[in-house]
Amino acid sequence: NAGVTQTPKFQVLKTGQSMTLQCAQDMNHEYMSWYRQDPGMGLRLIHYSVGAGITDQGEVPNGYNVSRSTTEDFPLRLLSAAPSQTSVYFCASSSAQGTTNYGYTFGSGTRLTVV
Amino acid sequence: GDSVTQMEGPVTLSEEAFLTINCTYTATGYPSLFWYVQYPGEGLQLLLKATKADDKGSNKGFEATYRKETTSFHLEKGSVQVSDSAVYFCALRITSGTYKYIFGTGTRLKVLA
């Protein structure tokens, strides 16, 4: 009963470094997304995907790339880390199936610090 | 565009007090509405949901009713406990093809013993 698994849980990067945050779900959910959570700003959508091979931008996509080659995995790539990307990142998944009835299942988060 | 507005926190209550956290929304179509809870150091968890007008979602003593006429989905609990201290997020899921979620900014609740 794994749900949504995010790795790593904590990461410190130097400015300019790149890295990939991993997200995997075992519920066969079509819909996956990445959010960042910053103090006083709630959740902001970075990128989302409605199925394998389909991705789209959210409200704060700059500096991040995603791909969805399988239903299970939705990695988030930071191309050249900046201090402004210091945040807590959450991956979430949901069934879609042509209805709005389904809630999200969230991962436990990745706390990223860029120095 | 679609949006969710929550009351600003923090909300500080004594144990056994009545809780209301206000949430209003703007959306085209007929969205589903959700409340999520985030405990310290954890991800968000689905607390309750309502999928059509006049539906009441409930879980763990929390309730919220989907009010289409006032575009609201206020969260209530009759008697809060210290363990309810967390951040609460109101959200909607839009009915367009992407079925995207829209979240409020969250309301921090602190319950004192």
The pLDDT score that the predictor gives to residue B100 is 79
Sheet strands side by side (includes B56-59): B19-21, B75-77, B62-65, B56-59
Average pLDDT over residues B87-96: 88
Closest chain A residue by Cα to residue B103? A43
Average pLDDT over residues A100-104: 77
Q: Where are the beta strands (DSSP E) in chain A?
A: 4-7, 10-13, 19-25, 31-38, 42-51, 54-57, 64-66, 76-78, 87-94, 105-106, 110-114
The pLDDT score that the predictor gives to residue A76 is 98
Minimum distance, in Å, between the CA of residue B110 and any CA atom of chain A: 16
Q: Which of A70, A82, A108 is CA-nearest to residue A19?
A: A82
Instruction: Please answer yes or no on whether B99 and A43 come within 8 Å at the CB atom.
Output: no
Query: Which residue's entry shows tokens 């929304």?
Result: B25
The pLDDT score that the predictor gives to residue B112 is 97
Using CB atoms, pick whichever of A35, A40, A103 lies closest to residue B34: A103
Minimum distance, in Å, between the CA of residue B103 and any CA atom of chain A: 7
Asked if residue A99 has pLDDT above 80, the reply is no
Closest chain B residue by Cα to residue A107? B43
The pLDDT score that the predictor gives to residue B67 is 96
A31 exposure class (CB count in 10 Å sphere: 0-12, 13-18, 19+): buried
Closest chain A residue by Cα to residue B92? A100
Rounded Cα distance, A111 and A94, in Å: 22
Minimum distance, in Å, between the CA of residue B95 and any CA atom of chain A: 6
Average pLDDT over residues B17-33: 93
Rounded Cα distance, A109 and A7, in Å: 8
Q: What would the pLDDT profile of A10-69 be if each residue is shown by its tens digit?
A: 999 999 999 999 999 999 999 999 999 998 778 899 999 989 999 999 989 999 999 999
Compute the Cα dihedral for A22, A25, A29, A33 and give only its sign.
negative
Q: What would the pLDDT profile of B36-75 be if each residue is shown by its tens digit?
A: 999 988 899 999 999 989 999 999 999 999 999 999 999 9
Instruction: Please answer yes or no on whether A33 and B36 come within 8 Å at the CB atom.
Output: no
From A88-92, A100-104, B49-53, the region with the lowest mean pLDDT: A100-104
